[in-house]
Amino acid sequence: MHRETTTHATTHAAARDAGRGTMLRLHDVTHVYPNGTHALDRVSLDVPRGMYGLLGPNGAGKSTLMRTIATLQTPTSGAVRFGDIDVLAEPERLRRTLGYLPQDFGVYPRVSAADMLDHLAVLKGIATAADRRATVETLLHQVNLWDVRKKALAGFSGGMRQRFGIAQALIGNPGLIIVDEPTAGLDPEERNRFLDLLAEIGEHVVVILSTHIVDDVADLCPRMAVLVGGRVRLEGAPRALIEGTRGRIWTRTVARAELPRVREQYEVIATRLLAGRTVVHVLADRDPGDGFAPADAGLEDVYFSTLAGARRAA
């Protein structure tokens, strides 16, 4: 009864206060699928408040990790804690403060955006009709779906559907928000808008953003990790990580025909076409000469060199 009579403002503030010191901790999380695939291999991470980028190629185990944190999957071993919640033992408690945008989701047929949002609001414990109306209105405006609120979700474009996805993840001021590959399939404008929205929320709560697009992380996340083959290969603040590769990345523009030779001689971490020729980034502790110049390293180079390292290790 007490909880029901509390005003929105105070609960909201309380939620934020609670979220302030909250941290998501993963300890030795391992997941082996029945077919023998090691999707996660002793993953340990400490995720503080703010945006946290989880970068990795397709099949790296990102979605498995996301679903494990989101209580959709029980890992084979390991521990997941969020604040004082033991997520594996009490998934119900985490779900009360969880917002999750899956990589891909469907919709019920013949259900409008507003109805679906309203329905999910009920599921998340927004009990009174007035609260739900406020929630639905605010969120639909926030993600700019207000004008199409009465349309069936099934007819939405990819961007609209993704915006709906983020709206539902925000219901009830969650303390932990998990977004799995949210920008895939969005046009640049949609993407910017979407990331803005995330950044805004990320000031107060833990937001984990999984992606294979380096720029998403570079633009937004104070901290990040790189997951390859189920293992954490790199973890830290992007700025520091970039700093770490300074002086080891070299670049040169080569003709297409030369590329095989360059690949053979150097450890090429990335190639990019520029006006018909190929710009090559290579990893080397010393100046390789041969026309290479020091590159202005970005997060992309950090990422690709990590992947290259993982490939070498494998």
Partner 1 sequence: MLLQIARFEARYVLRNPLLLATALAAFLFVGAGLSVDGFDLGNEGGLLKNAAYATLRNYAVLSVVFMLVTTSFVATAVLRDDETGFGPIVRSTGITRADYLFGRFAGAFAAAALALLVLPLAILVGPLMPWTPAEQVGPARLADHLYGYLLVALPNLFVHGALLFALATFTRSLLAAYLGVVGFVAAFFLLQTGFVGEIAVAIAEPFGGRALRDMVRYWTVAERNARLPAVTGAFLYNRLLWVGLGVLALALVGVAYRFADQRMTRRERRRLQRSRDVPAQATRRAGAAVVLPAPQHGPRALRALLWMRTRFEVRQVVRSPAFVVLMAWGTFTTAYALTTRDTPGRPSVPTTLTLLPDIRDAFAVILLVVAILYAGELVWRERDRRVHELVDTTPLPNWGYVVPKTLAMALVLATMLVANVGAAMLFQLAHGHTDVEPGKYLLWYLLPAAWDALLLAALAVFVQALSPHKTIAWAIMVAFVVWRQFNQVVDHDLLNFGASPGMPLSDLDGAGTFWIGAWTVRLYWGAFAVLLLVGAHLLWRRGTETRLRPRLATARQRLTGAPGWIAAAALVVLAGTGGWSYYNMNVLNAYRAPLAALARQAELERTYGRYAGLPQPTVARMTLDVALHPAERRAVTRGRWRLRNETPGPIAEVHVRLLDDALELVRASVAGARHVVDDRALAYHVFHLDVPMRPGEERELSFETRRWHRGFRNGAPDTRLVENGTFLAAEHLVPVLGMGREGTLEDAAARRRFGLPARGGRPRLEDTAATAHATLGRGWTTTDITVSTTADQTPLAPGRRVSDEVRGGRRVARFVSEAPVRQSFAVQSARYAERRRTHAGVELAVYYHPAHGRNVDRMLDALAASLDHYRTAFGPYPFDHARIVEYPGWANFAQAFPGTVAYSETYGFTADLRDPATLDHVTATTAHELAHQWWGHQVTGADVEGSMVLSETLANYSALMMLKRLGDEAELRGALAYLRDRYLAWRSTGGVAEPPLMRVETETWIGYHKGALAMYLLQARMGEARVNRALRTFLERYRFRGAPYPRSLDLVAALRAEARTAEEQALITDLFERVVLYDLQVRAPTAVRRADGRWDVAVPIAARKLLVDARGAEHETPFAERIDVGLFTAEPGSAAFRAPNVLVAERRPIRQGVQVLRFVTARRPTHAGVDPHHHLIDRRSGDNVGRVAGPD
Residues 87-146 that bind partner 1 (CB under 8 A): 89, 92, 95-96, 98, 100, 102, 104-110, 119-120, 122-128, 131-132, 134-135, 138-139, 141-145
* Secondary structure string (H, E, C) spanning 220-288: HCCEEEEEECCEEEEEECHHHHHHHHCCCEEEEEECHHHHHHHHHHCEEEEEEEECCEEEEEEECCCCC
CB of 131 to partner 1, least distance (A): 4
Task: State the DSSP code for 96.
Answer: T
Identity of the residue, 154 or 255, whose beta carbon is nearer to partner 1 in the bound complex: 154
Task: State which residue, 192 or 265, has the beta carbon closest to partner 1.
Answer: 192
Task: Give the binding-site size for partner 1 (rule: CB under 8 A).
Answer: 72
Q: Are the C-beta atoms of 295 and 305 separated by less than 8 Å?
A: no
The residue among 118 and 301 lying less far from partner 1, judged by its C-beta, is 118
- Rounded Cα distance, 218 and 53, in Å: 9
Alpha helices in 143-187 (DSSP H): 158-169
When asked if residue 34 is in the footprint of partner 1 (CB under 8 A), the reply is yes
Separation of alpha carbons 47 and 52, rounded Å? 7
Per CB under 8 A, the segment of 19-27, 78-86, 156-164, 238-246 that binds partner 1 is 156-164
Our finding on whether 84 is near partner 1 (CB under 8 A) is no
Q: Amino acid identity, residue 56?
A: G
Of residues 38, 42, 204, 231, which one binds partner 1 by CB under 8 A?
Answer: 204
Instruction: Determine phi and psi for 141, rounding to 5 degrees.
Output: -65, -40
Please identify which residue in 24, 45, 170, 224 interacts with partner 1, judged by CB under 8 A: 170
Using CB under 8 A as the binding rule, whether residue 70 contacts partner 1 is answered as yes
The interface with partner 1 within residues 171-190 (CB under 8 A) comprises 171-173, 189-190
Phi, psi of 303 (to 5 degrees): -65, -50
Q: What are phi and psi of 313, to 5 degrees?
A: -65, -30
Instruction: By CB under 8 A, tell whether 163 contacts partner 1.
Output: yes
Using CB under 8 A as the binding rule, the residues of this chain from 38 to 67 that contact partner 1 are: 67
How many CB atoms are closer than 10 A to CB 12? 13
| Residue among 147, 257, 274, 289 that touches partner 1 (CB under 8 A) | 147
86 lines the binding site for partner 1 (CB under 8 A) = no
Calculate Rg over the CA atoms of the chain: 22
Q: Based on the shown chain and the rule CB under 8 A, indicate whether residue 1 belongs to the binding site for partner 1.
A: yes
Q: From the list 200, 243, 290, 296, which residue makes contact with partner 1 (rule: CB under 8 A)?
A: 200
- Contact between 152 and partner 1 by CB under 8 A: the answer reads yes
